[in-house]
Structure 1
Amino acid sequence: MFADVSEERPDCRIGKIRIRVSTLESNKIYTSSYPLLVLTRTGLKKMGEIELAVRFACPSFMPDTCAVYGQPLLPKMHYIRPLGVAQQEALRGAATKMVAQWLARSEPPMGHEVVRYMLDADSHAWSMRKSKANWFRIVAVLSWAI
């Protein structure tokens, strides 16, 4: 949400709200007051409230949903010429590095190791911990079946 303050700075951020579409029922009107929150360098600041009336309309739910789920997830190019494993790894590494650099400048700064752990950057690599966890899951399922 933006507010008109002056001609020099026509748009300044006054906050934002988040409404989860998955919680809305079709053709029902929701009226509620939401706080406008903005993240500043000093922390989260309440900039006021906004009252909204929202109606989630989906006239033909089933055909639209089937059409959306029937479409490919990726653009056609990715199916014709998919990225190789090396390219995927290079992109994953570059994305991890960019996020780590961005979070290193935050307050308090976050280390590269923490970012790699949180992004699970090495999820594709073999891990003894993951292998043991998967083994115990398999044993639990098989012991229940037996």
Structure 2
Amino acid sequence: MTETASDTVADRYGASRSKRWDRRIGWSLASVAILVGLLVIAFGNWRQSTTEFQNIGFTLHNEGGPGDAFSASTKFEVNADPGVAVSCAVEALNTSKATVGWKIVDLPVIDGRSQTVSVDIVTLGPATAAHAKACWPVER
């Protein structure tokens, strides 16, 4: 019995017809995985709480005398979903942009979307800037 040249090559290099089904299954699974990934990206953040903040301004209190502490005040606006508890990290920086004061502030739950917050920060030395660094929703 003689084999044709194509059968001999197919047997030698494994290019038989059963591989075609394996490729089709692989491409089908890859397509389904990509489709599911796109759906997760598109609808994954559908009902996520949106918490944003905007720095308004700051005041520095660097006239510390002997025994007096340095301090800074910052004012910022927080926008969050009504009824959501929010915490914010506030920091004061020196001329080298090093943190000289830090505070976590728990904001009260309000029925509205926006609230303006003023925070005083005690610093380790004279500050040149103070601002809200981050705000996030808190589960209570």
Same-fold status (TM-score > 0.5) = no
TM range (shorter): under 0.3
Higher strand share: 2
Structure of larger gyration radius: 2
Higher helix share: 1
- Between 1 and 2, higher relative CO (CA 8 Å, sep ≥ 6) is seen in 2
TM-score by length of 1: 0.23
TM-score by length of 2: 0.24
